[in-house]
Structure 1
Amino acid sequence: MGIQFDAAISTFTLQTARTTYRMRVDERGRLLHMYYGRRIGRGDLRELYPPADHGFSPDYYPCRRRRGVSPDVLPQEYTGCNVGDFRLSCLVVRDGMTGAAGADFLYDSHEITPGKYTLEGLPCAHDEDSEAETLYIRMKDPVTGLVLVLLYGVFARQDVITRAVRLENAGTAPLRLEKAASACLDLPFGDWDLVHFHGRHAMERKMERPPLPHAITTVSSTRGASSHHHNPFVILCDHTATEDHGLCYGVMPVYSGSHRTDIEVDQNGLTRLVTGLHDERFSWQLEPGESFTAPEVLLCCTPDGLGDLSRHYHTFLRRNICRSPFRYARRPVLINNWEATYFDFNTESICRIAEKAASLGVEMMVLDDGWFGKRDDDNTGLGDWFVNEKKLPGGLQPLIERVNALGMKFGLWVEPEMVSEDSDLYRAHPDWALTLPGRTPAMGRNQLVLDMGRPEVVDYLTQRLSTLLRENHIEYIKWDMNRNMSDVYSRALPPERQGETAHRYMLGVYKLLDRLTTAFPHVLFEGCAGGGGRFDAGMLCYFPQIWCSDNTDAIERLSIQHGTSFGYPVSCMGAHVSACPNHQTGRTVPLWTRAVVAMSGTFGYELDLGRLTDEECDQVRDQIKTFQRYYDVIQNGAYYRLSDPDRQPRYVAWQTVTDTESLVSLVLTHPEANARPLHLCLKGLEEDALYKVDELNVYGVTATPESGDNPASQVGAVCSGSMLMYAGYILPHLIGDAPSVQLHLTRLP
């Protein structure tokens, strides 16, 4: 395994446990992509690509008479610009002196090193236990002097290959980048479905799986964020791929800003995927001696289906992307006051919530929006990160001391990247906001976006938030971002560099997050962007968990968390039990079912506990104890989807498995009269091992189940793993509005 170079045939091979990635430098010095897929042995792959003359596909100049050697036909590792490949391009670069757009990269050198490369100013995977190797391939355009450095990080045991690109101006004239993708993946053979995750605010990451047409399909965001609308993670898979079988390719950018992934099926059936920064309104001035680095991309390939691909990403993100000390640490069950009070609170009302929560077993009190500046609604105060002492006399510390005295930790909400027009910060520094000259700006939540590309803005926020964290015993920060970027113009940049504003914004955000998470490692940071509007691998480098969605309706959350699970682990999904009727949908769901859904995440509460009945309070106590009892298998187990909400609308079921135990959860979303049995084939168990049914709990049934269907009668049953996986298991009969089941199995020694 690892990285090999065969000089005899000028071929690079990146070998992982189950996959092979192969490239070749051809006779003209261009780098061709030869293969990525199931692991293969030795052999010269040139025979797969015989010369062929295709009409209107121009040949390289030296081949103009014999023809059949066209950049428009050959599989490319990273494309040039304006040199005869009419398919998707990776790059648009313009000579600053002549205005000509063009680049044709030829192989210069390569280097193989132990360990994993790093990227200056950008989040990227790290080498956790000296597993990785790095391949640098240096290419050069002889006309402009532009150097292309392709970076590959190979995590052989995990079947993950990372890719990134660095562009260096080694010429004498300035260059202007108008597109700079992170990776190109050419798949010359095969027919594929595209799995992508679309949505909107409060309904994120809805999975969709169309077959690729003979056209260009785009998954993108121009919002300055990875967005609620099109998550940057995509999958290409066989038409016949299932959860358990079929070839799948995952492509996950490590970036949180505007992104673009294009997939084209060309005239010969080759599928090309190009991914990276969105090129709309993007440009980057590259003076002689300067360089530009495009964000990293995580590639994973598996022949064993969508579920196996997901589990590879779950493990890798937690192990090699997230850097937080909390990535494996047990996290507290929290109560957030937002849906209980919104902006209307004071020290006493928050303490009453904390006292009630502590009596039920909740471990952390989180104070949400409204604690700072002049902030009684969402129209004012952002940017003024000073305590509003009319609401909180004496500041935060007296409140924190009272919360800590209850045996609870204390957390706080912030939204540092934004500013209100009605704020002292904006009045002092109106030029710090992104607004277009001579125009009134579009407003989201009556707030503007700070120009995070300005060092003084990052320095100000570093100082203000650091003071807040040093002077108060805060152990959790919820970091929100509640509008997307429009009116993108920086008053700190000259006209020719305005196309850099959006990307510089993300670089500034990353710099601020790196400073704070490094300086305050004891603080658990949770990301949020109006819920799941920035749920991506870039944010996970700093935040071990991200608020999954502002939609807390448990039935809606089933779909949201299902889609999220294709790329992201349970341990990073922020999920809470909220009030009913639900504040977003008006739906009523049993309290226990709300808890079962929230347990497939970080778990907490977001409601007024004082409104609960004594019976409901007892349920909350039991829910917290249940979550704590199942914590290890939920947070650290391998995750299996047991249902497809689109194909099996009756219920949603999922399972987590460790070496010693397994937890199966099911929510009945559409009860039926004269219902068929709830039959599940479990996954991830050892075939020859024996498993004991320790607990089988039915929640939220609003009528008496049929006689003889008592769940208690099944507790204590012993079954083989093979029986549970292949013959299956019948769950108790469920009736009522959204009842749920949890089945816990222990592997016998």
Structure 2
Amino acid sequence: MLTIGLLIGCASLNAQTVTIPIETESNVLLLQTDTENRLRTIYIGEPLEHKNEYSSVSDLFYFDEENVGIYNSTYTPSGTWNLVEPAIQIKHADGNASLELKYVSHKKEQIDSHTTLTSILLKDPLYPFQITLFYKVWKQENVIEQWTEILHSEKNSVLLEKFASANLYFNNKDFYLTTYPGQWAKEMQPIETKLSRGMKTVDSKLGARAMLLYSPNFMLAFDKPASENEGTVILGQLAWSGNFKLEFEVDLYKNLRFISGINPYSSAYLLPANEVFKTPSLIYAISNNGTGEASRNLHSWARKYRVLDGHGNRLTLLNNWEATYFDFDENKITALFKDAKNLGVDLFLLDDGWFGNKYPRDSDKAGLGDWQENVKKLPNGIAHLMKEAKKEGVKFGIWIEPEMVNPKSELYENHLDWVIRQPERPEVYYRNQLVLDMSNPEVQDFVFGIVDGLFTENPELAFIKWDCNAVIYNAYSEYLNRTGLPQSHLYIEYVKGLYNVLERIRTKYPKVPMMLCSGGGGRGDYELLKYFTEFWPSDDTDPIERIYMQWDYSYFFPSITIDNHVTDWGKQPIKFRID
């Protein structure tokens, strides 16, 4: 990778104006310091004909209001001059809750011939506290990835109470927002709203399976409703697999402030000195020619730069779930292999129900967490099934749900301290299960060991379906309690722990296809798709309903990432379902 860094600007005593263009092929995000050396967003739109005009753009607009402060701050602090919704809210080590951020410097790196990375350093003039804003740009695809890094060197830890990934400002006059609420088997249901004065919030507090009710994907159209082939539009996503929050606020000037990041709900984070807190990324494609172009650009970016094996092939698989559910044995499974190759099947996937002995997995009420082959159902183990599948010319894959546990399991009996639960309150179950504490390194080792053990014992295993069916109730970590860390770290450390495990898996097994599943479309984001080749968008396999659902997913994801099953849902002919 070629990386060339150039220091472009730095603060001076007389605070000379600094203008920072973040440029794609068709658009520019223009940032500029003011007379107080605060950084503002002064323009987002098509590039100006002459770049020397950039420095004077701010003369055309005025976005201050004496009752609230500065609307177009590039990263809005709290506790000083600002009274609008902040991007960052903290409490210093001495208890002071004020924050000021002044521009210090910025640099632009040429990562390769297609990609640049601009970083902007802002500091508090009174405290040793700083943030760095990052803008990674894929110029040809008109895609920008934004994130923020927070660092301090105060005497003790600083409490982060809000820590957005991005804080954007749009000075168009009409804004049409499409969001995608849903529920089980009814994911990605689009609602387009013309935004009016005030705040529109889309968020999740579910912990795991965070996309079950609301999606971190959004479509924002300017001046008129979104259309396929005309108009300015942004397709965006917060690439985070836990609680998220998107805030769209139309101000008194009828401009739009947009703040996105981890949901600060029950997530105040105590940051030690000299440790970097990195937010998740906001990823968005901008088009001046409608949603079709924006979507194609996002697809091109995803396949080239983000999705695992984005230009590879995907397997056609036969899954036993809707044929057998939990009611199967070795003979019933091997019978399904017959003629699979002639149907065009590349792989057979054994779904839920293959494990557990003391507590057999004969329903969703027991066995989850006990990852040994059930000797009654599979007396010759997974190896025998793989051998028989190979005879029929198909590969073999398997279903796991390694982040979860049934109370009726050996894992629960032996490692109750690994389970997210309030020790003095009644347990609350979702699909008769609880969530394991992924903030705990021992749990991370256990989850990695499940996958590693399957591959070690079955080297020809060709596919993993990774499920996640529960949300987090009674959020409490015995590990965080034991180590003296705040319970408010749990939601964040859970997701970071998951990413740690997936990084370890991909380091050792870089190429094996894996499907991301979450009781339907409860998970699907561009951070997890670094590690998964595809995701399962919904348990609704009705072919008519899937057309509409997958159309809405397709704005944000290339079709190679979206799985679908042909089942007996619906009354359409088999050819229609397959086509």
Question: Which range, TM-score by smaller chain?
Answer: over 0.9
Residue from 299, 302, 313 that aligns with 2:287 = 302
Distance 1:544 1:130 in 2: 26
Per-residue deviation at 1:131?
2.2
d(CA) in 2 for partners of 1:270 and 1:347? 63
Q: Please report the TM-score for the alignment, with normalisation by the length of structure 2.
A: 0.93
2:217 counterpart (227, 233, 240):
233
Which of 500, 517, 540 matches 2:506? 517
Q: CA deviation at 1:19?
A: 0.9
CA contact (8 A) 1:23 1:31 kept: yes
Distance 1:567 1:51 in 2: 32
Paired residue secondary structure (2:159): strand
1:35 aligns with 2:43: yes
Distance 2:63 2:413 in 1: 66
In the alignment, structure 1 residue 408 sits paired with structure 2 residue 419 = no
Which residue matches 1:204?
187
**Match for residue 89 of structure 2?**
92
Q: Per the alignment, in what secondary structure is the counterpart of residue 352 of structure 1?
A: helix
- Computing the radius of gyration from Cα coordinates, the structure with the larger value is 1
Please, which runs of 5 or more residues in structure 2 have no aligned partner? 11-15
Matched, 1:478 2:465: yes
Question: Is 1:577 the counterpart of 2:566 in the alignment?
Answer: yes
The equivalent of 1:563 in structure 2 is 552
Correspondences of 1:6-45 after superposition (within 5 Å) = 9-40=17-48, 41-42=50-51, 43=53, 44-45=56-57
Say whether the 8 Å CA contact 1:3–1:135 is kept in structure 2: no
Aligned twin of 1:493 = 480
Q: Equivalent of 1:105, from 101, 105, 109? A: 101
**Alpha carbons 1:3, 1:14 under 8 Å: kept:** no
2:361 alignment counterpart: 375
Alignment of 1:19-418 (within 5 A): 19-40=27-48, 41-42=50-51, 43=53, 44-50=56-62, 54=65, 56-57=67-68, 70-71=69-70, 73=71, 75-98=72-95, 100-115=96-111, 130-224=113-207, 225-238=209-222, 239-322=224-307, 324-325=308-309, 327-373=310-356, 374-418=360-404
What stretches of structure 1 of length at least 5 have no aligned partner?
Answer: 58-69, 116-128, 597-749
- Paired with 2:571 and 2:233, the residues of 1 have a C-alpha distance of 38
1:521 deviates by: 2.5
Give the secondary-structure state (helix, strand or coil) at the position aligned to 2:434: strand
Letter of the 1:104 partner, please give it.
Answer: E
Output the CA distance in 1 between the equivalents of 2:457 and 2:9.
59
1:578 counterpart SS class? coil
Superposition RMSD in Å: 1.8
Check conservation: 1:333, 1:364, Cα contact below 8 A. Answer: yes
Deviation sequence 1:545-565 (CA, Å, 0-9, x none): 101111111111122111111
Q: Tell me which of 426, 429, 452 is aligned to 1:443.
A: 429
Shift of 1:379: 0.9
Q: Deviations over 1:394-443 (max 9, x none)?
A: 21001110101111010100001101111111111101010013101210
Q: Which amino acid aligns with 2:20?
A: F
**Residue number in structure 2 paired with 1:422:** 408
| Distance in 1 separating the partners of 2:63 and 2:43 | 17
1:607 is matched with none
Give the whole-Å Cα distance in 1 for the aligned partners of 2:47 and 2:220.
Answer: 18
CA offsets per residue over residues 436-481 of structure 1, 9 Å max, x none? Answer: 1310121001111000011111112212320111211210000000
Do the aligned partners of 2:534 and 2:563 also contact (CA within 8 Å) in 1?
yes
TM-score if structure 1 supplies the norm length?
A: 0.72
Deviation at 1:130, TM superposition (A): 4.8
Once the two structures are aligned, what percentage of the paired residues are identical? Answer: 32
1:508 maps to which residue? 497
What letter matches 2:567 in structure 1?
Answer: S
- Distance in 1 separating the partners of 2:6 and 2:182: 39
**Alpha carbons of structure 1 residues 155 and 51: separation in structure 2 relative to 1, 3 Å:** closer
Alpha-carbon shift at residue 241 of structure 1 (Å) = 3.5
Give the letter for the 2:217 counterpart. F
Aligned length: 558
Q: Structure 1: how far apart are the matches of 2:119 and 2:153?
A: 17
Task: For 1:360 and 1:158, locate their aligned partners in 2 and report how far apart those are by CA, in whole Å.
Answer: 38
Q: 1:55 to 1:35 in 2, by over 3 A?
A: closer
* 1:328 CA drift (Å): 1.9
Which is bigger in relative contact order (C-alpha 8 A, separation at least 6)?
Answer: 2
Do residues 464 (structure 1) and 450 (structure 2) align? yes
Contact persistence 1:261–1:273 (CA under 8 A)? yes
Note the C-alpha offset of 1:5. Answer: 4.9
* Counterpart for residue 660 of structure 1: none
| Contact residue 235 and residue 250 of structure 1 kept, 8 A | yes
Give the AA of the match of 1:233.
N
Distance 1:38 1:318 in 2: 25
Report if the CA contact (8 A) 1:3-1:133 is conserved: no
Equivalent residues of 1:137, 1:149 under 8 A apart: yes
Q: Would the aligned equivalents of 1:201 and 1:228 in 2 still touch at CA under 8 Å?
A: yes
State the shift of 1:251 in Å: 2.5
Query: Cα deviations across residues 282-330 of structure 1 (Å, max 9, x unaligned)?
Result: 11101222221110111221100011111111111222111x23x2222
Q: Which 10-residue stretch deviates more, 3-12 or 104-113?
A: 3-12
Structure 1 residues 3 and 275, CA gap change in structure 2 (3 angstroms): farther
Q: 1:6 to 1:46 in 2, by over 3 A?
A: farther
Q: CA deviation at 1:4?
A: 9.8
Task: Measure the CA separation in 2 of the matches of 1:522 and 1:175.
Answer: 40
Between the aligned partners of 2:362 and 2:398, the Cα distance in structure 1 is: 17
> Are the counterparts in 1 of residues 27 and 44 from structure 2 also a CA contact under 8 Å?
yes
Q: Is the 8 A contact 2:210 2:471 kept in 1?
A: no
Over residues 497-555 of structure 1, what are the superposed CA-to-partner deviations in whole Å (9 max), with x where a residue is unaligned?
A: 11110110001111111111221134110000001110221221111210111111111
Q: State the SS of the aligned residue for 1:35.
A: strand
Look up the SS of the partner of 1:556 in the other structure: helix
Residue 538 of structure 2 aligns with which residue?
549
In structure 1, distance between residues paired with 2:370 and 2:548 = 37
Checking the alignment, whether the CA contact within 8 Å between 1:95 and 1:101 is kept in structure 2 is: yes
State the alpha-carbon separation in 1 of the partners of residues 257 and 62 from structure 2. Answer: 19
CA distance in 2, matches of 1:55, 1:477: 57
Partner-residue secondary structure (3-state), 2:384: helix
